[in-house]
Amino acid sequence: MRPDLLCLGKGITGGYLPLSATVAAGPVHRAFLGADLSEATLYHGHSYSGNALAAAVALRHIALIDEWDVLANVRARAAQLGAALADRVAPHPAVAEVRQSGLMAGIELRPPTAGLRWGRRVSAGCVERGVLVRPLGDVIVLVPPLTTTAEEVDVIVDAVAGALVDVCG
């Protein structure tokens, strides 16, 4: 299934400048084809559109993704992350489930009592170890950069595993 409209932002310039784009599926795009100011005109605007400098940065960023073979790195680091989480984090009794798609992972925690929230505490423990993660309730969200290294994946998993032991026993 593909979306009819897709709004993109943030990562287009690698986070250096604000820029966004909206991509439309063929049928949606064709519905608005016609003379300017006709009944087919789609009047719209983006908060972060029309910036020539941001567009130039985005073009260079997209070129670097190819030049640096970033997607090959993502595949390798995602496999490494998945194996490390399965080996060092998933077996912990406080972990209910580890979910992963590419380099993005969610570690769902299993607090021992209703109302106890471990997510924030485990995230704080990761920060103490130099790794910034995001808690969503009792899910620890890992989203390393696409250019993350093998060593950085090890640091991330070490931080999560250590924080789990410190907070959850």
Give the residue carrying structure tokens 């009047």: 43
Residue 101's SS3 state is: strand
* % pLDDT > 70, the chain: 96
Residue 51's SS3 state is: coil
pLDDT above 90: residue 74: yes
Angle at 148 between CA 146 and CA 151, to 5 degrees: 160
Separation in Å, CA 139 to CA 88, 118, 169? 17, 9, 17
In angstroms, the CA 164 to CA 94 distance is 8
pLDDT above 80: residue 147: yes
Which candidate, 104, 164, 100, 102, places its Cα nearest to that of 138?
A: 164
pLDDT above 90: residue 154: yes
Provide the pLDDT for residue 149: 94
Provide the pLDDT for residue 20: 81
Which candidate, 124, 152, 154, places its Cα nearest to that of 133?
A: 124
Do 18 and 35 meet the contact criterion of CB atoms below 8 Å apart? no
Task: Note the pLDDT tens digit of each residue in 91-123.
Answer: 999 999 999 999 999 999 998 777 778 899 999
Q: 49 vs 126, which has greater pLDDT?
A: 126
pLDDT above 90: residue 83: yes
Angle at 70 between CA 68 and CA 74, to 5 degrees: 150
In angstroms, the CA 68 to CA 121 distance is 36
Do 107 and 142 meet the contact criterion of CB atoms below 8 Å apart? yes
Task: Note the pLDDT tens digit of each residue in 25-69.
Answer: 999 989 888 888 888 877 776 666 678 898 898 899 889 888 989
